[in-house]
């Protein structure tokens, strides 16, 4: 699995390269948004790990580069890895495509195995979003009509789906039987009018609908 890391902090970038390489990933790294875009054009990776704030102004260059990747038609899964929460640009990135998407906060990633799992999940087209990011994104707008049809429990399940939890993990978190969780997930798909297809793809579509709550 090929990974490109876009991170301007040398120490963090090299640390991520070593961690991922030790897990068997084919890793390359860049230090600027322009280098990231050039890397994607040369050989799209299976997933790009991108810092939100990068040179030259250290505001939102990284996430804008991720949006540009989508604008150019690349379906490269994106895992934002930052100290900062940037809701407006994150929603813009989500609106640009429904391939794998993640957003983790550097200071809240305390376990290497969980980080590796998040990278693999995003690379495979899933989601991995910190609960704080989920809350921030959802609070930015008004729920679309489709979300108002969901029951409180279905919303709980959808929120945990956004974090990237499996049905088994959701059943443990909510203290529900696995079959009950499966029923709620099916209800979410039906009420959000998602056409039957692979469940993993529908999960991402459901999460995108949930997070794009200003629709």
Please say whether the beta carbons of 100 and 204 come within 8 A: yes
* Percent of the chain clearing pLDDT 70 (strictly above): 92
Give the residue with greater pLDDT, 137 vs 170. Answer: 170
Task: Say if residue 169 is preceded by a cis peptide, omega within 30 of 0.
Answer: no
Q: How confident is the model at residue 143 (pLDDT cuts 50, 70, 90)?
A: low
What CATH number belongs to 145-211? Answer: 1.10.10.10
In the predicted model, what is the mean pLDDT of the chain?
Answer: 89
CATH class of domain segment(s) 2-138: alpha beta
Residue range 90-122, pLDDT digits in tens: 888 887 766 789 999 999 998 999 999 999 999
Query: Cα(189)–Cα(63) distance, rounded to whole angstroms?
Result: 29
The domain limits of the chain are: 2-138, 145-211
CB-CB contact of 124 with 80 (8 Å): no
Write out pLDDT tens, residues 52-75.
Answer: 999 999 999 999 999 999 999 999
| Whole-structure pTM value | 0.82
The pLDDT score that the predictor gives to residue 214 is: 43
Distance separating the N- and C-terminal Cα atoms of the chain: 34
Mean per-residue pLDDT, 154-164 = 91
**In 89-110, which positions are buried (b, 16+ CB within 10 angstroms) versus exposed (e)?**
bbbbbbeebbbbbbbbbeeeee
Dump pLDDT digits (tens) for 19-57: 999 999 999 999 999 999 999 999 999 999 999 999 999
pLDDT of res. 140: 61
């Amino acid at each position: 699995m090929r990974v490109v890391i876009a991170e301007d902090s040398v120490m963090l970038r090299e640390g991520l390269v070593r961690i991922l390489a030790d897990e068997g990933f084919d890793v390359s790294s860049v230090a600027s948004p322009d280098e990231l875009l050039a890397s994607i054009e040369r050989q799209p990776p299976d997933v790009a790990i991108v810092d939100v704030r990068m040179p030259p102004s250290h505001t939102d260059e990284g996430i804008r580069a991720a949006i540009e990747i989508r604008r150019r038609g690349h379906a490269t899964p994106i895992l934002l890895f930052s100290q900062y929460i940037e809701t407006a640009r994150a929603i813009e990135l989500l609106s640009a495509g429904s391939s794998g998407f993640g957003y983790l906060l550097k200071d809240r990633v305390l376990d290497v195995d969980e980080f590796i799992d998040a990278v693999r999940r995003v690379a495979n087209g899933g989601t991995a979003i910190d609960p704080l990011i989920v809350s921030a994104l959802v609070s930015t707008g008004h729920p679309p009509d489709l979300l108002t049809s969901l029951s409180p429990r279905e919303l709980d399940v959808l929120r945990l789906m956004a974090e990237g939890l499996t049905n088994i993990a959701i059943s443990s978190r909510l203290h529900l039987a696995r079959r009950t969780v499966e029923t709620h997930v099916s209800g979410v798909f039906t009420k959000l009018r998602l056409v039957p297809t692979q469940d993993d793809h529908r999960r991402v579509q459901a999460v995108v609908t949930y997070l794009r709550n200003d629709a």
